[in-house]
Amino acid sequence: MDSSSIINIHSLSRACNECQLQDLCLPLGLSRGDIDRLDQIVNRRRPLQRGSTLFNQGDRFQSLYAVRSGSVKSYSTSDEGDEQINAFHLPGEILGLDAIGSGTYPLSIVALETTSICELPYERLHQLAHEVDGLQRQLLRVMSRELNSDEQFMRLLANRNADERFASFLLNLASRYEARGYSGQAFNLSMSRSDIANYLGLAVETVSRLFTRFQQEGMIRVQRKSISLIDRDRLNALCNLNPLGRNPAKNQL
Amino acid sequence: MDSSSIINIHSLSRACNECQLQDLCLPLGLSRGDIDRLDQIVNRRRPLQRGSTLFNQGDRFQSLYAVRSGSVKSYSTSDEGDEQINAFHLPGEILGLDAIGSGTYPLSIVALETTSICELPYERLHQLAHEVDGLQRQLLRVMSRELNSDEQFMRLLANRNADERFASFLLNLASRYEARGYSGQAFNLSMSRSDIANYLGLAVETVSRLFTRFQQEGMIRVQRKSISLIDRDRLNALCNLNPLGRNPAKNQL
DNA sequence: CGGCAATTTGACCGGTCTCAAAGTGTGTGG
DNA sequence: CCACACACTTTGAGACCGGTCAAATTGCCG
């Protein structure tokens, strides 16, 4: 164990039990005692600075990670060197689950702002999950939920237009912030316009125009990174109704 | 247990150990003995006819399922009744993993042709995974790999054009057939054009034109459902090279 | 204050969707 | 076993959303 990467053990000990993210993170559903056991295998690492990398696509898989505070983006790089952002991760979310199958991280993780991370060495976690039934359950639940959100996102990309994608993006962030006890009405976008565009499968220019137009139409108020959702009903309507949706597809088989 | 839904117990007993899909399915990595234990909880159900439903979006989650032969599509239905196809599943693939987190299937499954399915009651499977370490590992691996393929598919939808999507689709099917011991050079498409279009986020007309054009250009030969991949190198080139790709994105953060 | 990256705005273009209609197969019932 | 109906697929013509290219503007940070 690399002690240089662990900070201030004392003040953080028993951290999971005191962490406000318990209900979103791996400890959910565990007893205090079991959480203590989990705590013993968690490494708390020195915070990542904006722009620094947690791990790179292709690195050997050894640990899962949990975002503790801040935010990161995960992306893959193609042979030609272009990036595709896969997700933005907020506190309480687990990173690296997609590496279990191959033993290699398929994505790179970079901090969007100063970010604290908990490290969960996989072999020890797996061992503990074997002993603590609730942990095994929660691990599977977390992965399953990630499959779910991927499915929803695939749906977004497959048949939503730019307006719908953008509205969904904003509301999704809002509800995730709310689940973490922050305001979903006003928050900061830690990612750049170009990150948003890349993530949503749009051009930067299109995203920029969306910010402008949505503000003109009174749905949001933006000032650089800071955004307020003024008319969430209208944003919601944009996501749910799909009047011009492609492929109305009754799909009679 | 509903005995009417189980056929010919005798001839299928110890089926996992004799199943050629072992290496793709849950038993991978288990000893013969452990596979026997797995076998004891697997229910083999009467084959699904083309067009019939295994389970519906919203049904209560109780079991995972494995495709034994044939193929199915999974799709979600929006409030407005339009469908979005999420995936096509071939033999050896596990269905329902995305329901573990919520206790409810988020997708419906319908057979594209006559299809045999193995049922894996989740609670019993979970219990067995607790006892058989290799099973727990394999379950996590299978889910992780699904996350991976979802990520790749998201990438496809986010920044590939129609040609690239279609070529990827064909090659993906080909390699999956090959992994199952079938020819990847010539096979049958069990799904309709409109299913393909819906899945790829394209219009039916576009897909139809792709079939026509790819054939004219000598990359494939199609006759209704049957397809041969004549020039896989060229198809591959379409997927990998992305000369006109959107968002070349250096993404300097 | 100066330079550079990020963002915004404008003009134009093209790929893919939409609408429309013809063509092809398949399954059912007489 | 044939005929008809219906669903699926193909083909064509035109429109539009969102991408590309170009340039101006803004903000950040040394």
Residue labelled with tokens 């041969």: B228
pLDDT at B241: 62
Is it the case that residue B103 has pLDDT exceeding 90?
A: yes
The single-letter code of the amino acid at B88 is: F
Chain A residues in contact with B100 (beta carbon < 8 A): 140-141, 143-144
Tell me if chain A has a CB within 8 Å of the CB of B169. no
Interface test with A, best of B113, B240, B247, B250 (most A CBs within 10 A): B247
Tell me if chain B has a CB within 8 Å of the CB of A225. no
Is it the case that residue B102 has pLDDT exceeding 50?
A: yes
pLDDT at B17: 87
Q: If pLDDT is split at 50, 70 and 90, which confidence band does B22 have?
A: confident
Q: If pLDDT is split at 50, 70 and 90, which confidence band does B160 have?
A: very high
CA distance A133 to A139: 10
pLDDT at B23: 86
Is it the case that residue A10 has pLDDT exceeding 70?
A: no
Record the tokens describing residue A225, joined without a space: 């990174």
b/e string for A152-184 if b means 16 or more Cβ within 10 A?
A: ebbbbbbbbebebbbbbbbbbbbebbeebeeeb
Q: For residue B90, what are the CA distances in angstroms to B223, B230, B239?
A: 21, 22, 22
Taking residue A104's Cβ as centre, other Cβ atoms within 10 Å add up to: 12
Interface test with B, best of A144, A164, A198, A207 (most B CBs within 10 A): A144
CA distance B229 to B237: 14
pLDDT at B212: 96
CA distance B49 to B194: 20
Q: What is the pLDDT of residues A183-200, one digit of tens each?
A: 999 999 999 999 999 999
Tell me if chain B has a CB within 8 Å of the CB of A179. no
Q: Using CA of residue A71, residue A77, residue A82, residue A86, what is the dihedral sign? A: negative
Nearest one of B135, B119, B68 to A140, comparing CA atoms: B135
Nearest one of B86, B127, B125 to B107, comparing CA atoms: B86
The yes/no answer on whether domain B3-148 falls in CATH 2.60.120.10 is yes
**CA of B2 to nearest chain A CA: how many angstroms apart?**
27
Nearest CA in chain B to A199: B158
Assigned CATH for B159-239: 1.10.10.10
Chain B residues in contact with A240 (beta carbon < 8 A): 79
* CATH 1.10.10.10 residue spans of chain A: 159-239
Is it the case that residue A208 has pLDDT exceeding 80?
A: yes
> Are A95 and A67 in contact, with CB atoms under 8 Å apart?
yes
Cross-strand pairs, B229: B220
Give φ, ψ of B150 to 5 degrees: -60, -40
* CATH 2.60.120.10 residue spans of chain A: 3-148
Residue nearest to nucleotide C8 (CA to C1'): A208
Q: Starting at the earlier edge strand, list the strands of the sheet with A226-229.
A: A186-188, A226-229, A220-223
